[in-house]
Structure 1
Amino acid sequence: MGQLLSPETFEFFARYLVAGYIVIAVRARFVTGLRVKSGELIIEAFIFSLINQTLFALLAYLWLLMGLPTFDAAVTFYLEILVLPTMIGLLLGFNLSRGWNNAILRRLSAPILHPAEKAHDFAFGHNRPPGFVIITFEDGVVIRGYFGENSLAATDEARSDIYLERLYVVGEDDAWIEQSPGRSGLISLANVRSIEFLDEETNPDDQ
């Protein structure tokens, strides 16, 4: 590592790996649960670095062609290594999270990549609107609650759980009742059979 960061090799290391890592890191902010294997990460970083260099060379050529003022070497280096990779990562992340290229992929009969690796991550992603949820376990236990801005669903390789900011019990005529004092809850999702999502405007008493 010390040799990679030496003055003689740092520029090469930055252009051929760091730039690609920045693209991957920025894009990952839009992809829930995305974990690339270390071996694949190096290859992907190298490929993105090459793409970044190609795009930077094209932009630099157009910049000079238009006769615009040039920057000194240090500024140009940081534009290539930091600014452009960040912009590429943002573009790829927005494209993935918004599904802008899904129509093209469907026409080509190509697989569509969701901005999440697991159904749990996709269901509770950052675009999940607030609403009521019904969690049913394999043993028949049912938990009803409200998943809003102060709630959180987390998952990893070992476990997954959910924090609901409000919990409800079922009263007469199957009406949802918030207990007094109000309760919230941290719930392990082990042995869950299903999770139902109700729209925020839906009256849970009608379910």
Structure 2
Amino acid sequence: MTIKSIDVVIYTAWFVLPGYIITRIINTLCPGRKISDSINLLKCIGYSLIDIALWSWLYKICIDCNQKAWWFYLLLTGVVVLTSTITGLAIGLIRYCGFFRWLVLKVFKIQIEKPIPTAWDNIFSSRKFGCWVIVTLGNGKYIGGRFSANSHASSDQDYRDLYLEETYEVDENGWIKTPNTEGVWISPDEIKKIEFIGDGNNE
């Protein structure tokens, strides 16, 4: 096989792309600590090597195809995206479920670091059905609201803002929904404490 200069660029892109896709999927499922660009590059290369090793048989089939055909590059690009997505989901779900941590603790009696770095990331990433919250502000006032599918909690470690899709007045008489509420945005500097109450299904 003769490799031309343009082929070098394409094959390099095919090598880097799996690691990038896998990293993005894992970070979506399990938000991690902020790392330097150099460490992130090494992680991408490592995940690319894992993906290539796992799917080498499929890559071999594709490369053995007619490389002069117009559909060859499209085929291999599709395979790269598909395999890296499957690998990323598998690794991400294993990390999210804590199976590897459980296995190491069970077999070797070693407690390893949780993949999700902060309590903020852990609690909000596990809110599958929503919940009620009471946010204590810096001035001592309270905001009651519902955190659910249309709400958002920042995953940026340097800027922890919060958006609640519905707001409520909370007093001794209970919760009273704010008329025509379309939610409230709360800046990081205003958040002093967040209390989580029940489940979004238990209205």
Q: Is TM (by shorter chain) over 0.5?
A: yes
Q: Does 1:87 align with 2:95?
A: no
Calculate the aligned-residue CA RMSD, in Å: 3.3
**Which amino acid is the alignment partner of residue 17 of structure 2?**
V
Letter in 1 for 2:154: A
Q: Distance in 2 between matches of 1:20 and 1:165?
A: 35
Native 8 Å contact 1:53 1:80 kept in 2 = no
Contact 1:23 1:86 (C-alpha < 8 Å) held by counterparts: yes
- Give the C-alpha shift of residue 84 in structure 1: 2.3
Aligned residues between the structures: 190
Residue of structure 2 in register with 1:176 after alignment: 175
Does structure 1 residue 189 correspond to structure 2 residue 188? yes
Separation in 1, partners of 2:179, 2:81 = 53
Residue in structure 1 matched with residue 144 of structure 2 by the alignment: 144
Q: Distance in 1 between matches of 2:55 and 2:146?
A: 48
Corresponding position of 1:167: 167
- Partner of 2:121: helix, strand, or coil? helix
1:22-78: CA deviation from partner (whole Å, max 9, x where unpaired): 322333332336544210122122222222332233x459x99xxxxx754537744
Alignment partner, residue 199 of structure 1: 198
Cα deviation 1:110-152 (Å, max 9, x = unaligned): 41433x3332222222644322101123442222112222222
Separation (CA, whole Å) in 2 of partners of 1:94 and 1:28: 11
Determine which structure has more spread, i.e. the larger CA radius of gyration.
1
Take 2:194 and 2:22, find their aligned partners in 1: how far apart are those partners? Answer: 35
CA distance in 2, matches of 1:42, 1:181: 47
- The one-letter amino acid of 1:153's match is A
Q: Does residue 46 of structure 2 align to residue 47 of structure 1?
A: yes
Specify every segment of 5 or more residues in structure 2 that has no aligned partner in the other structure, as ranges.
Answer: none
SS at match of 1:186: strand
Shift of 1:103: 1.6
- Specify which structure has the higher proportion of helix: 2
Aligned runs of 1:1-207 on 2, under 5 Å?
6-14=5-13, 16-32=15-31, 35-57=34-56, 59=57, 71-73=65-67, 74=72, 77-78=76-77, 81-107=80-106, 108=108, 109-114=110-115, 116-125=116-125, 127-171=127-171, 173-182=172-181, 184-200=183-199
Instruction: Indicate conservation of the 8 Å contact 1:56/1:80, yes or no.
Output: no
